[in-house]
Chain A
Amino acid sequence: MVWLAALFQLWALGACGSQVATTAKPITLYTCVNDTTIQPVIQKFEAAHAGVKVDLFRAPTGQLNARVASDVRSGGLKADVVWACDPLTMQDYVDQGLVGGWTPQTDIPATVRTPDYVGVAVLYMVAVTRTGRPGPAAWTELSRAGKVAVPDPKVAASALGALGYFGPDFYADLKAKGAVQVSTPDDVTTGVAQGIYDAGMTIANSAYAAQKSGSPVTVSWPKPGAVAIYGPIALSKTTTNSGPAQDFVSYVASRDGQALVGSSGSYPTLPGVGGPTTPDDAPTVYPDWKALASSKATLLRDYAKIFGG
């Protein structure tokens, strides 16, 4: 009887959820953007657009991909808007005919735009060192900081972007000098903060968040520059709620939306809008995403020979 009662309550909970969903005509957003950023963006958008509700599915890229692929095989993509964390993922969705075909009017630079999506946030791959260790002025000096950790490009798209920019030889050199590969950029940050590693490659948001909380880490933007990985947003091709969905994409790409992105811990792409900590003369470099899309398999195979897997 206990489980019958519990089952009934679960059913009631589910029913309540779907009732709200049908009466409010929500738009469904799929994203891998962290909660710290996405929640205020949704709240401000809903406040500015009375009657429009955003239903959120937020998960790391792997789960997001799994959800999209499952949708495709069970009636079609259920999202109205997809906000990804790297252009390779989004381009794959475009190539499958899932998203694209429309972008909003915006001053965001053409370098992070295509006819199908627009980059609205950036991740920067930077160097993090344990406080007291020398921060590398150039990426080639990273291994001099001591025991180095790098994130896995088969797990984190930001790491794949870095692999695309640096090439396998850079990693072979690091490995020869004792570097190890961990899973995610966050694992690098935590490992360096804890003292398991002396230095590593991680994303700036993660490193600055650790530094801000008091962890003994130093963040460097080595030359030729931090590797920039932009996170694009796109409209679903199967949306039946395109008006509010377009409004949401437009809002995120607008100056107000970009300011909110910047103030909530992510780096915006709109020039002149402030974001989290960035050194005055912070150099940045961009992978060639088109080339990377076609060479991804070869790169990962070559990389696997270095770090295994």
Chain B
Amino acid sequence: MRSGLARSALALLLACVVAVVVVPVLVLLRTSWVEGRGRLAEIMTDPGFRSAVANSFWLSAAVTGLAVPVGVAIALALRDPGLPGRNFWRAAVLLPVLVPDFVLAYSWLRAYARAGLTSEAFGFAWPQVQGPVGVTVIVASNAVPLVYLVTAVGLSTRAEPVTERAARASGARPLTVLRTVTLPLLGPAIATAAVLIFVLTLGTFAVPQVIGAPAGFRTITTLIYADLALGSDPQSFVEAITLAVLLVMITVIVVTPADRLLGGRLSLSRTPARDSDWGTGSSTTRILVPIVLGLYLIVTCGLPLLALVSAAFTRAVGVPLSPENWTLDNFLAVLTPRTGQALGRSLLLAVAAGSILLVLGGCTAALSRTRSGRAVSVLVALTLVLPGSVLAIGLLIGYGRWLADTVLIILLAYLAKLWALAHRPISAAVDRLAPAGLQAARASGADLPTALATVVVPVLRPALIAAWGLCFLTALHEVTMSSLLYGPGTETLAVVVLNSADLGRIGVTAALSVIVTVVVLVPGGALWMLGRRSRHG
């Protein structure tokens, strides 16, 4: 039974991975090799390329080094069942994910740059927001919710409150318990989050482009974008593809050893931790945690969100936020039938992508202890790191003859780009699953769907919800791929975003973001309720 199940899952995985990952990557490799191999040395010795590679590495390392400890600390702090407003904080730490990438940089600039909100209100501006430090802080603060989610899933599936309590009862100090019990058990979840953040940051584009440019801070992705902008010249186009291929190679170098290290997982047969299992914190902790968390969220999320919302309700950029400048014009400009259709299409695509990715991510995670499974997990990281525009080029060259201008090619792009995002959170939780449970259910006469629904899903529910939510939101906010792949009758939200961004109409783009956020909050609220149910029930 096990081998049959594994074979089916592997066949499904291989077919999908070939279609959405191998084909576009091979197409890019071929284009780069056939048209650009003569210029490889020239590209790699260019000082601009060397500094971009160094910047990308430093940025990824710094963001990972910043986001992982913060995300893990938040997840650990929010374990305490007696923490005042705990459910509110659990939802609030996820808020940065709701700000779409295409307005993230503007939100921070409007909040903290010269003449920004803090400057107007308190006379404080943060000049370093434009430059490497600003890029690092913004990308890291946006990555923290992802680390938090993966760690929280790890906590609910891997951690052992009883062992912690035993250690404390034996006289171990809290830090000793953290170092010797909690963190070792959370190791795979933390490592998963670290690899994911490192790879995501390698491929991040929007923030370095807007925030880094004034300081001359170029990364590989912004260099690729610049080459594509000059890409009517075939040399620049091939250079962009070659840079993307090099980015893929860097990812292989980083991810393969990381996954090999993660391969030796613990084989567990404990039941998942429940909220009531955790010990309660001290009264000092219960006062300090909400204060620190509140300040952190105001700085990293509250003020940028306020900047975004104020831009949406203000008639022009740069005018005071006084009532005479308030307007709904930006919303009226966005609320058109065309926008509604595009938003509907994007929602449908995001739901489809999230749901399919749940299956693909689950299969990848289930096979993560096998060599084939590890190979698949490395492969899907390649398309995660590829800049959206380059991945779209790979898909267009690979499938354009048959699928150009259809929603299916956009869906393929989402699957390729977000597969790793679905797989890694599930993977961080899956070794909680004892194979014997599934085998026992099947041996007792349950068919596969029943066995999965009754044995697997309850254990993995937090991870599945987290993975689906991440994929849904990222697909909904995605701009670069769908703006390149759309055709007549298949316009997505991305097309509306790009059109509204024309001529710098930031108020309209901000209004669009607010609408999308509201639309997302509805299923988000439902998911949150589901999450609560899964934790309590």
Contact = CB atoms under 8 A, between A and B. Distances in A.
Interface of A: 2-3, 6-7, 9-11, 13-14, 16-18, 20-21, 26, 34-36, 55-63, 65-71, 73-75, 78, 84, 88-90, 92-93, 96, 130, 149, 152, 154-157, 160, 180-183, 186-187, 189-196, 205-206, 209-210, 213-217, 265, 296, 304, 307-309
27 contacts: A3-B358, A11-B408, A13-B345, A21-B488, A35-B499, A55-B487, A58-B499, A66-B389, A66-B392, A66-B393, A70-B393, A70-B397, A71-B400, A84-B232, A92-B232, A152-B226, A180-B130, A180-B214, A183-B210, A193-B318, A194-B115, A196-B109, A210-B316, A213-B317, A308-B51, A308-B216, A309-B51
Interface residues of B, number: 81
Interface string B479-500: 0100110111110000100110
B335 to A, nearest CB: 16
B387 to A, nearest CB: 10
Contacts of B345: 13
B59 to A, nearest CB: 15
B489 A36 contact: no
Nearest to A76: B401
Nearest to A71: B400
Nearest to A147: B114
A14 B406 contact: yes
A62 B228 contact: yes
A296 B401 CA distance: 33
A65 B237 contact: yes
Contact of A182 (B213, B319, B355): B213
A14 to B, nearest CB: 4
A195 to B, nearest CB: 3
Contact of B317 (A56, A149, A193): A193
B226 A154 contact: yes
A296 B231 CA distance: 13
Given A35-B499, A67-B484, A69-B237, A13 B489 contact: yes
B490 A14 contact: yes
B23 to A, nearest CB: 12
Contact of B355 (A6, A20, A68, A96): A6
Contact of A74 (B116, B215, B401, B495): B401
A214 B316 contact: yes
Interface stretch (B278-286, B424-432, B451-459, B503-511): B503-511
Given A21-B488, A74-B397, A75-B400, A10 B503 contact: no
A10 B414 CA distance: 14
Given A62-B229, A209-B505, A215-B318, A69 B218 contact: no
A75 B484 CA distance: 17
B406 A73 contact: no
Given A196-B115, A308-B218, A309-B218, A65 B229 contact: yes
A13 B490 contact: yes
A190 B407 contact: no
Contacts of B216: 181, 307-309
Contact of A194 (B318, B351, B405): B318
A13 B346 CA distance: 12
Interface string B311-349: 000011111000001000000000000000000010011
Contact of B214 (A155, A181, A217): A181
* Main SS class of interface, A: helix
A3 B468 CA distance: 12
Contacts of B48: 304, 309
Residue of B48, B216, B231, B506 with highest tally of chain A CB at under 10 A:
B231
Interface in B352-407: 352, 355-356, 358-359, 389, 392-393, 396-401, 404-407
B401 to A, nearest CB: 5
B305 interface: no
B393 A69 contact: yes
Nearest to B354: A3
A149 B350 CA distance: 38
Nearest to A212: B316
A63 B237 CA distance: 11
B233 interface: yes
Contacts of B406: 14, 17-18
Contacts of A59: 483-484, 498
Contacts of A6: 348, 351-352, 355
Contact of B316 (A74, A96, A149, A213): A213
A5 B42 CA distance: 50
B110 A194 contact: yes
